[in-house]
Amino acid sequence: MFITMIASECAPVAKVGGLGDVVYGLSRELEIRGNAVEIILPKYDCMRYDHIWDLQVTHPDLWVPWLNYHVRCTVWFGFVHGRKCFFIEPHSHDNFFNRGSYYGFVDEHMRFAFFTKAALEFLLQSGKRPDIIHTHDWQTALAPVMLYDLYQHGGMEKARVCHTIHNFKHQGIAGENVLWFTGLGRPEYYFHKDRLGDDFNPSAINYMKGAVVYANFVTTVSPRHAWEVRHTDWGYGLGHTLHLHQEKFGGVLNGLDYDMWNPGNDPYIDTPYEAGDYAGKQANKQALRKKLWLREEETGETKRPLVAYVGRLDAQKGVHLIKHAIRYTLARGGQFVLLGSSPEMGINAEFWQLKHELNDDPNCHLEIGYDEELAHMIYAGADMLVVPSMFEPCGLTQMIALRYGSLPVVRAVGGLADTVFDYEQSELPREQRNGFVFHETHEPALESALGRAIDLWYEKPAAFRELIANGMAYDYSWNQPGQHYLDIYQHIQA
Ligand code: ADP
């Protein structure tokens, strides 16, 4: 099969969160299984160009129709750790992708509508005829709409679209002008509630709703979340539309790229280690302490568990619980490392404030920013990783933690509930339990789970290690989900 991914992120070259990991990891798995995969991305100025090999111009003049004129784009090609990637660079005064960061601009809906249109135009003009176009999140959600209403009859009859929703919170809400710019036009047609008309704002279209209506199949990133978005508020208003299209909607748990995330062969960590090698794990803990100027253990000193958080600092991630985890861990004599950043000034400021408050504490380090290499060191060096999300479509950090032998302490939502099973309360057999889980969103709930994890670390180190071994034995690679996506592609193929 020939599969084209159209996405706004791909790890590690253009990654903000899990979406980037998924685009890379799924593409790799599909290729391993004998399919041809190409990825189309915007050419951002802020990409990690050091992760692209042989970058060169392949199509110097891609003219993309836009409103009543054409925008000239240059299409580049390069390999990102073996993946074949095309990068679209528009030349217009809008300067859509030369802004120093990936997201967060007032014309966001125009930037990605343009990119989506340019990607389809590229397929059309270059003669590429994928069997499957796989699009991701709101940024590329207009692709199935444009494909079926503008491109299908121009020579792209064969392509079928699978759309994956990684986060329902951001749906791409825009006004009528997008329809004119993209050439879709016909506002009275698209504003209909059965098509793109937003259910809350009568003067807006909703890109993601468009994908749910037009795509041949729609997935979200865990079975539990697929249920939540239809039956609770976590669908952010799309529950009804999903219900209408339920026969083409399902949850596929994300995989983890076991090559990129492999403690046995990770270039960013101090000491590679396998399951059962506790000395190796310990060496990484010491290396992390050294790097972040945390107090190191001296002979005779009480040992301290190291608890970590890695991820975006966003209301979704349970900001109040992250903060509480820091204070609670320190009060229990542990050490805490946080790596995260937020595009929201307010949340960033809160964490900078906390960082200043805790500046003199030798048991705590808050790193506010994005740092891929440090993230690897933290997963390898931590004893536990907290993921106290309010909602979590899948969550990759808990899976990375399991792979690196760091015990996940998570709230039972979405993909977290599908992947982490409580040491004491799970109904699974003992050898399949792999972490600690809590349910409510208040601080005592987090304390109960983190407290139990810390107790186990202090009081029953052998049981703690056994739990880690259980976690490392799980297979959360792309092996199963890769096959699942292939089944979906086959199911929708023309
Ligand atoms: P989301 O997609 O909601 O951001 P996920 O748990 O699905 O959350 O994926 C997060 C991914 O991004 C993981 O690979 C994690 O290691 C990475 N990540 C998040 N924040 C940072 C950061 N500040 N520095 C380095 N890596 C980060």
Ligand 1 site, residue 368, Cβ cutoff 6 A: no
Nearest CA to ligand 1 atom 4: 17
428 φ, ψ to 5°? Answer: -75, 155
pTM: 0.95
Task: Evaluate: CB of 395 within 6 angstroms of ligand 1.
Answer: yes
Alpha carbon of 351 to ligand 1 centroid (Å): 17
Check pocket membership of 9 for ligand 1, CB cut-off 6 A: no
CA-to-CA distance for 416 and 437, rounded, in angstroms?
Answer: 9
Confidence band, pLDDT 50/70/90 cuts, at residue 408: very high
Confidence of residue 172 (pLDDT cuts 50, 70, 90): very high
Using CB atoms within 10 Å of the CB of residue 355, give its burial: 0 to 12 exposed, 13 to 18 middle, 19+ buried: middle
Confidence tier at 300 by pLDDT (50, 70, 90)? low
Q: Is the pLDDT of residue 301 over 90?
A: no
- Give 183-219 pLDDT, tens digit per residue: 999 999 999 999 999 999 999 999 999 999 999 999 9
Q: What percent of the chain has pLDDT over 70?
A: 99
Ranges of each domain in the chain: 2-255+479-493, 278-473
Closest-CA residue, ligand 1 atom 20, reads 311
- Would you place residue 297 in the very low, low, confident or very high pLDDT band (cuts 50, 70, 90)? confident
SS3 content of the chain, % helix, strand, coil (to 5): 40, 20, 35
Distance 366 CA to ligand 1 centre (A): 16
pLDDT digits (tens, 9 = 90+) for 44-80: 999 999 999 999 999 999 999 999 999 999 999 999 9
Average pLDDT, the chain: 97
Six-digit token string for 87: 């990068």
CATH architecture of 2-255+479-493: 3-Layer(aba) Sandwich (3.40)
Average pLDDT over residues 130-145: 98
CA of 172 from ligand 1 middle (Å) equals: 21
pLDDT band at 298; cut points 50, 70, 90: low
CA of 370 to the centre of ligand 1 (A): 9
- Ligand 1 contact, 338 CB (< 6 A): no
Ligand 1 center–CA 22 separation, angstroms: 11
Choice among 24-38, 42-56, 336-350 with the minimum mean pLDDT: 336-350
Asked whether 393 lines ligand 1 (CB < 6 A), one says no
CA of 375 to the centre of ligand 1 (A): 9
The rounded Å distance from CA 430 to ligand 1 centre is: 29
pLDDT of res. 38: 98
Q: How far is CA 189 from CA 172, 185, 186, 210, in A?
A: 18, 9, 5, 12
pLDDT of res. 344: 87
User: pLDDT by residue (tens digit) across 218-248?
Assistant: 999 999 999 999 999 999 999 999 999 999 9
Q: Ligand 1 centre and the CA of 80: distance in Å?
A: 19
Closest residue CA from atom 14 of ligand 1:
18
* Residue 494 pLDDT > 70: no
pLDDT computed for residue 451 by the predictor: 98
Q: What pLDDT, on the 0 to 100 scale, is given for residue 343? A: 81
Ligand 1 contact, 312 CB (< 6 A): yes
CATH number of 278-473: 3.40.50.2000
Say whether 278-473 and 2-255+479-493 share the same fold: yes
Closest CA to 27 of 143, 141, 146, 136: 136
Residue 120 CA to residue 128 CA, distance in Å, equals 10
Query: Average pLDDT, stretch 9-19?
Result: 95
Q: Given pLDDT bands bounded at 50, 70 and 90, which one contains residue 320?
A: very high
Q: Which ligand 1 atom sits nearest the alpha carbon of residue 16?
A: 12
In ligand 1, the atom with minimum distance to the C-alpha of 341 is 23
Q: List the beta bridge partners of residue 378.
A: none
C-alpha 267 – ligand 1 centre gap (Å): 19
Contacts 24+ apart (CB under 8 A), 340-347: 340/309, 340/310, 340/311, 340/312, 340/313, 340/367, 340/368, 341/312, 341/313, 341/368, 341/369, 341/370, 342/312, 342/313, 342/314, 343/101, 343/103, 343/104, 344/314, 347/313, 347/314, 347/315, 347/319
